[in-house]
Every structure is written in structure tokens, then in C-alpha cells.
Amino acid sequence: MTDLAMLEREMTGWRRDLHAHPEFGFEEKRTSAFVAAKLREFGLDVAEGIGGTGVVGTLRRGSGNRAIALRADMDALRIPEQGTAEYRSQNPGVMHACGHDGHTTMLLGAAKLLAEDGGFDGTVRFIFQPAEEWGKGALAMLDDGLMERFPFEEIYGLHNMPGLPVGHFETRAGAMMSAEDNFEIVLKGVGGHAARPHAGNEVLVAACALVTNLQTIVSRRLSPADIGVVSVTEFITDGTRNALPGLARVLGDARSFRPEVSSEIEKQMRVIAEGTALTYNVSAEVTYTREFVPLLNDAALVDEAFAAARTVFEPHHIATAREPMTGSEDFARFLEHVPGCFVFLGNGKDSAPLHNPTYDFNDAGLIHGCRFHAAIVKRRLPAK
């Protein structure tokens, strides 16, 4: 049997190596090479370059013909790290600010644990995905024939959660994480001298009104029973100190859990943009794209995940997530093809928030994620 204390020390070393060498989405060449080398060392069949820089490891035991998948994301963010650890990022302007170094390490640990100890009957696909942060990695792997080349019947994934104590586990049936839509509204008028606004048709006042008007979509156009978020995140004009702008760009994102709500947000955004533009005698052009779909956990597999968690975590550390999270996760793309379950594991009450320049994955959580991955495999592919 695997020495878990020794495995935990190994995983800590792997995680800190990955943390020191972060790579942005579809640029994870060193990371994917590291993953592939470890998987081969453990005796798995390995395929590289899936969806660009993705890696798939396959482990078979016994004669069972069922296959399940475990997935981890590998990419980092373009955020300059402000942490002071000796293993801090050596790639300027890029850091693991979301814990994907930990996710990758936990799945590698599970691969080693299952390869050494077995205890299951069937096939496990270990999916190491690129480019989760901008919602393109799962689609790239699927478009590259993931399901046809490495078929599986269900899939599991996890994410660390700051604020939740280490050693704690949460998930829920149904809506777990939201869809994300992006929008850009371009207002065009006629710029001019700041001292003579009447001589042109500037767009700054119209754009300010637009930002305010967009806030009525959730408060006055959606049912109070639906969850929706509309956030303006950028406001850009071509004006300067003494020149009124003739062009303004208003950008942001919207979150929802149902396609009908997403469609209504887009519809109302177009109505408001056109109406505001008409009021101020400027033109408006709306671009609306859907980047992430909602993550919907399968109820039966959530029950299975809870059952597996009870073999890893203390009973009073296991809970049903009280409400869905309005963050997004492209693990949801896999759930459009097979049922699955996504879970949260604690990263510590005092952890910095995700996407914060001082964030660091808590190594004390590595063994919990590793053991949960192995437990769900042994439960879903029981040894004969």
C-alpha cells in the first residue's frame, strides 16, 4: 500500500515546482510535459497535445468495461505575483492565483495512488486540461475528439475554496456554478472641444447613462426568483483632458444559471443600449457572447460523491453547499456530454481570495483531494 505521508511530501514538491513555473492558457508546455512524465513514471498510457496542450492518462485494472474520468485544470493567470514564498513565480506577470497548480498535483497524486494500490475494476481517464480561465480549454479538448478517443461515462472535478477550512468538503445537486456571458457596447457620436460641447455630439454623458440604465436589467426585468448578475467592468473613451469623446466602449459580463435568463439579459441589454443611444442622439452597437455554460451537477452522482467523501473527510466536515456560486467553470462543457459532479475543497479560512496577487494554494489540502479522487474511482468502479 502507498505510504500516504511520503506521497504527501512528494505532492508538495510537485505543487511548488508547478507554482514556480506558471503558464497561461494554451501555453502550458512545461506543465504538460511535467504531467506526462509523471504519468508515464506511474505506468499509465499517456496521450499529449489533446486540444493543444492537454494531457490524458489512462489507467486500467481488471476486466470491467466501464470508464470514468477525473479532470484537473493546469493554466495560470496573467497576474504579477506579490507572494514572498521561495517557490514564487519565476514567470514575470504570470502566477497560479487560482490554485490550478494544486488541482493538477492532486490528480497526479491520485494517479500514483491508484496505479500502486489498484482497488478498482475498469478504466480511469485522468484529464489534464489547458486554458480553463478563459473558457476555451474544455471545448478545445472536446473538439479534438476527447470523447471519441478516450470515452468515459461520467466525470468528476474539484476546486479549492478560500474561506472554507482545509479538510472540508462541499457540493450540491443541480446548479453549482453560473454561466458567463461577455458584452461590449460601442457608442459613437461626434467628439469636439471640451469648451464647446454644443458644437459636437459627444458620447460621455450617454455612456454614463448607459452604465446606470444597465443596472435595471436585474432589478426590473428579471424575475426575483431568478439569479442574474450584470457587471460593467470597463469604460473606455477616446477623449482627453480638453477634448470630448466621440467614441465610448462599455464592457462587462453577465452571470446566470438558465439559458432563458441569459437570453433575457441579452434582449434587455440591446433594448436599453438602443434606447439610451436614441435619447442622446448617438449610435450603439452591442456585441454579446456566451463564454461559459452553467455547471449543473447530476443529482445521483452528487450522492455518490458524498458517499466517497465520507471515506475521506470527517462527517462534520462534509456539507451541502447552501447556494450556487456565480463564478464560472468550463468543467461544465464536459457535463453537456456525460453526467458528472464538481466539488469544493477547503483552502483555509485565512486563504487569500482566488485571483488575488497574494494567493497561494494550501499544501495541507493536497492529500484530501488526492484521496477523494481515488475514493470516487473505487466507489464507481468497485473491484470484483
Residues of the binding site for Mn(2+): 98, 100, 133, 159, 355
Continuous segment of H or E residues that includes residue 161: strand 154-161
CB proximity list for 131: less than 8 A, separation 6 or greater: 25, 26, 52, 53, 75, 137, 140
Q: Which residues are annotated as a binding site?
A: 98, 100, 133, 159, 355
CA distance 358 to 349: 15
CA distance 380 to 384: 12
Side-chain-side CA neighbours of residue 45 (13 Å) = 9
CB proximity list for 307: less than 8 A, separation 6 or greater: 379
Instruction: Write out the DSSP string of 16-55.
Output: HHHHHS---TT--HHHHHHHHHHHHHTT-EEEEEETTTEE
CA distance 354 to 277: 37
